[in-house]
Amino acid sequence: MMPRPLQPDQDTARWNAHVADYEAVFEGLTDAFAARALDALEPLAGATLLDLAAGAGGAALQAARRGARVIALDAAPAMVARIRQRACVAGIDSIAGECADGTAPLPFPDASFHAALSCFGVVLFPDPAPAIAELARVLRPGGRLAIVTWTEPDRYELAARLRAAVIACRGAPPPMGGLPAQLRYTEPAALVALVEAGGFAAVCIERVEAALHAPSARGLAAALGFAPGMAAMLGALGPDRAQVIEAFVAGLEADQGTGPVALGAVAHIAFATRK
What is the tens place of the pLDDT at every residue in 85-118?
Answer: 999 999 999 999 999 999 999 999 999 999 999 9
What residues have CB less than 8 Å from 150, skipping those under 6 apart?
Answer: 120, 123, 156, 182, 183, 186, 265, 266, 267, 268
Of the two residues 78 and 5, the one the predictor is more confident about is: 78
Give the model confidence (pLDDT) of 43-81 as tens digits: 999 999 999 999 999 999 999 999 999 999 999 999 999
Residue whose C-alpha is closest to residue 97's, from 107, 106, 105, 87: 87
Beta bridge partners, 271, equal 146, 204
The pLDDT-based confidence of 175 (bands split at 50, 70, 90) is confident
- Per-residue three-class SS string for 232-259: HHHHCCHHHHHHHHHHHHHHHHHHHCCC
Asked whether the bond before 105 is cis by omega within 30 degrees of 0, the reply is no
CA–CA separation, 212 and 91 (whole Å): 27
Residue 257 clears pLDDT 50, i.e. is over it: yes
With a pLDDT cut of 70, the percent of the chain lying above it is 98
The pLDDT-based confidence of 4 (bands split at 50, 70, 90) is confident
* Residue 3, pLDDT score: 64
Residue 1 clears pLDDT 50, i.e. is over it: no
Of the two residues 209 and 2, the one the predictor is more confident about is: 209
What residues have CB less than 8 Å from 79, skipping those under 6 apart?
Answer: 15, 16, 19, 54, 55, 56, 57
Query: For 132-158, what is the mean pLDDT?
Result: 97
* Residue 177, pLDDT score: 66
Residue 255 clears pLDDT 90, i.e. is over it: yes
- Output the average pLDDT for the chain: 95
CA–CA separation, 269 and 123 (whole Å): 11
* Residue 206, pLDDT score: 98
Residue type, 26: F
Question: By the 8 A CB rule, do 66 and 45 touch?
Answer: yes
Give the model confidence (pLDDT) of 179-229 as tens digits: 799 999 999 999 999 999 999 999 999 999 999 999 999 999 999 999 999
3-state SS assignment for residue 162: helix
The CA angle 40-43-48, to the nearest 5 degrees, is: 100
With a pLDDT cut of 90, the percent of the chain lying above it is 93
